[in-house]
Amino acid sequence: MAKWTPRHEAPEPLEGPVVATITGGTILWFVLFLAQLPFYGWFADHGHTWWLWTCLAGAGLGCIGIWYVRRRDAAIKRAAAPQ
């Protein structure tokens, strides 16, 4: 099998509203957690409580992601500012 080599340069990464995207995803995970919380008994009876904890973990990791992308965005703006 021949070694694969790229024939052209890789494109630049897309930059968009990263902070808004991560914040929206975090809110979505938390809303899903809250929406499933009233059905905890059913989830426990059927062995599906991991669904709730997955949503809560997504919200928690999203909070870390928000912190990270806000700092990244600020660092990019600082680097681009004239000195």
Tokens of 19: 């902070």
Q: How confident is the model at residue 1 (pLDDT cuts 50, 70, 90)?
A: low
Query: What mean pLDDT value characterizes the chain?
Result: 92
Q: Which residues contact 22 (CB under 8 A, 6 or more apart)?
A: 62, 65, 66, 69
Higher pLDDT, 81 or 36: 36
**Segment 57-68, tens digit of pLDDT:** 999 999 999 999
Spatial contact of 65 and 22, defined as CB atoms under 8 Å apart = yes
Average pLDDT over residues 19-37: 97
